Structure 1
Amino acid sequence: NPLGKECGSFIPEPIWSNGNQIFVEFESNSNVTAPGYRASWAAACGGVLSGNNGTITSPDYPHDYRNNARCVWSITVEPGKVIQLTFHQFAVEEWDDICDTDWVLIYDDDTSRANPLRKKCGFSIPKPIRSNGNQMFVEFESDSTTTYTGFRASWAASPYWTDPDSQVCGGAWSGDSGTITSPDYPHNYRNDARCAWSITVEPRKVIQLTFLEFEVERGPLCGNDWVL
């Protein structure tokens, strides 16, 4: 049951293995011959991710991504939590409104790929996206024409707030360094948002939190909007 069997004069579409190994077999008979073929191979991007947080980037980021790239990341967090995906950089070829050349596609699971959470191309940073459960897929694909620097995004496990008026954001973070932003940053945050981040570093270390940008509604005793 091969991944593909090719002959003729047309260049085949790129082929991806299902694991970390692939076999290529060539055979000719005693009749007509031709110049043959030249093919390149490269370790593909994407992968299976789990834990509380992480970062994903387009292939070769911050350099331009390759032509004919296809990456799929599967992200899973513990049951009872959702995933918030935040883009920090975004530059993906935009040919038309339906993003049918290069794109980033975000969906909950295989059954919801046809009805994704978001499909994005272009040069504006998307608003943060959250899953509906504890799993999220991020898919990136490029065609054979123009390429750009692609994207950098971070993901984090977030509490599943049952209050429909609350904005889901925040999460549990660990490691020596990281970045957090208000929801939808650098756009205006939404009304009635509630976010909580838990940040943990190694024992015997302390955490220094440095604000690089700050603009939050001012009110008496910070009674309207606040960071605590």
Structure 2
Amino acid sequence: MNGNCICGLLVLSVLLGQTEAQQAAPTRPAFTCGGDLVADSGFIGSEAFPNFYKPNSKCTWRITVPEGNIVTLSFRIFDLEADSQCKYDYLDVFNSHSHLVQKLGRFCGTFRPGNLISTTNTMMLEMVSDEATQGRGFVAFFSGAKPYVDEQQTCGGKITKAQGEIMTPNWPNDKYPPGTSCSWLITVEPDMVIQVKFDKFVLEADTYCRFDYVAFYNGGERDDSQLIGKYCGDQAPLPIVTSGNVLLVQFVSDLSVTSDGFLAEYTSFPRGASIPSVDSHTNTRTFPIPAIRLFVPRIPVTTTQPPKYIPPPPPEPTPVKPTITRPNGRKPGSQNPLCAKACKRDGTIKTSFCSSEFVITGKISSISPGPRGTVNVGLSLIRTYKSGRLIISEVGETMSLKLVSKCRKCPLLRRGSDYIIMGQVDGDGRGTLAPGAFTAPYKAQHHNLLVNINNQPC
């Protein structure tokens, strides 16, 4: 064999080696706008991820896992245009291949949803975007799982009795197992509504109930079925009342920490009737069942009993002194020391971003006087860029939080307006605003600026 042949073979072998290596290298899945996913498990994502999704689009994905399984959906990345009511860009998740079943949730913003499960072997996702702001979309992992069943207890199922109990697996002898998914569909007579009360309640604690939780959904026959509440931790939810005669209850535990679980009793009552309820002082009272959907605020999650709130002591009485007026007509001591300087922001948007513990955008929902010259501010969250130890509450599909401004007049905030807000967090997880804290009216075009700042080192 001559030298030319040897060289040719060497070149050919190198090329073949490169081709095999290229074929062996893992490839990133290509995500399209909708489709049918029939598999034991797999990834699902928005079109063109990780690039920005397209404007004015509507994509529908239908997931099917093998018969006898249920679908579990776990989000890995989530970035859609934020709005407190998810009116512009959003992702809907349904409990089957239909809009005429429970909507397991509508999601937007950068708040990553917790795990979702279906009651059958199918699930549907529908993503809608408008013509304006876009994000990078979402990526989630779906898989088929067996509903939990052992020799003594079945977790979940369809129930048609007028009253009964629901409980976590192994109750009351042991902790619930990890990696469990249970769904109860409770249906009573058409003219009845359902009330649920918890006797015991201990689930893994998390501020957003992302890991272990129990969720309640109104209805199962119309596309306006909504989440009543999602609960975890060791504080039992308040009694839950449905708006109709169908209730979906879902319990999910992840593969890590487990706990004792819960025991709940449900009862059905005629719509509009008064239900006896016993308060903490053992006094009986009644309240009418609402004919509309009832949203139950989620109790803050803690791993131990929260300490009782102790109000600050009242200010000591000040001895009456004769009024002294200075030549300029102002009374001495009339200014709040915190507001002594002019109402002016400290630093630039970049330096304030880096020095603040939280950076958010949101709509001011309430402003009320607080103790000692402070102001309490309620806010519906649009988007979070930094959160630190900030406590954010979930009510239905709205994320909200409370802020405390140390000065009545600075920074200036108006109810009903959208703002960029940066500040610090106190020991109770509340956001605090000093007079020089960075605030500014928020517009959609500010989002990209804040994202760019967030991606740069401080």
Alignment of 1:40-189 (within 5 A): 43=149, 45-62=155-172, 63-96=174-207, 98-110=208-220, 111=223, 115-161=226-272, 168-169=274-275, 182-183=277-278, 185-186=279-280
CA distance in 1, matches of 2:228, 2:213: 13
Quote the RMSD (CA, aligned, Å).
Answer: 3.4
- Please say if residues 84 and 169 of structure 1, whose CA atoms lie closer than 8 Å, have aligned partners that are also in contact: no
Higher Cα Rg, which structure: 2
Q: 1:112-148: per-residue Cα shift (whole Å, max 9, x none)?
A: 56x4111100101111101100000110000111100
Number of aligned residue pairs: 151
- Please say if residues 203 and 234 of structure 2, whose CA atoms lie closer than 8 Å, have aligned partners that are also in contact: yes
Instruction: Report the equivalent of 2:83.
Output: none
Q: 1:41 to 1:48 in 2, by over 3 A?
A: closer
Alignment partner of 1:48: what SS? Answer: strand
CA distance in 2, matches of 1:186, 1:59: 29
Q: 1:189-216: per-residue Cα shift (whole Å, max 9, x none)?
A: 7975369xxxxxxxxxxxxxxxxxxxxx
Letter in 2 for 1:169: I
Whether 2:287 is the aligned partner of 1:193: answer yes
- Which of 31, 34, 40 aligns to 1:4? It is 40
Instruction: Report the equivalent of 1:28.
Output: none
Higher helix share: 2
5+ residue gaps in structure 1? Answer: 7-13, 23-39, 163-167, 171-181, 196-228
CA distance in 2, matches of 1:75, 1:41: 17
5+ residue gaps in structure 2? Answer: 1-36, 43-64, 71-120, 122-145, 290-458
CA distance in 1, matches of 2:184, 2:164: 12
Residue identity (%): 30
Higher strand share: 2
Q: 1:9-29: per-residue Cα shift (whole Å, max 9, x none)?
A: xxxxx988249xx9xxxxxxx
Q: 1:189 to 1:109 in 2, by over 3 A?
A: farther
CA distance in 2, matches of 1:188, 1:133: 29
Instruction: Report the equivalent of 1:17.
Output: 68
Deviation at 1:160, TM superposition (A): 1.0
Instruction: Report the equivalent of 1:208.
Output: none
TM-score of the pair, normalised by structure 2: 0.29
Q: 1:134 to 1:5 in 2, by over 3 A?
A: closer
CA distance in 1, matches of 2:282, 2:268: 22
Q: 1:41 to 1:79 in 2, by over 3 A?
A: closer
Deviation at 1:109, TM superposition (A): 2.9
Instruction: Report the equivalent of 1:210.
Output: none
- Please say if residues 147 and 155 of structure 2, whose CA atoms lie closer than 8 Å, have aligned partners that are also in contact: no
CA distance in 2, matches of 1:81, 1:41: 28
Moved over 6 A (4+): 187-191
CA distance in 1, matches of 2:183, 2:148: 15
Letter in 2 for 1:102: D
Alignment of 1:27-38 (within 5 A): none
Deviation at 1:186, TM superposition (A): 4.6
- Please say if residues 84 and 128 of structure 1, whose CA atoms lie closer than 8 Å, have aligned partners that are also in contact: yes
Letter in 2 for 1:59: P
Letter in 2 for 1:119: K
Q: Identify which of structures 1 and 2 has the higher relative contact order when contacts are C-alpha pairs closer than 8 Å and 6+ apart.
A: 1
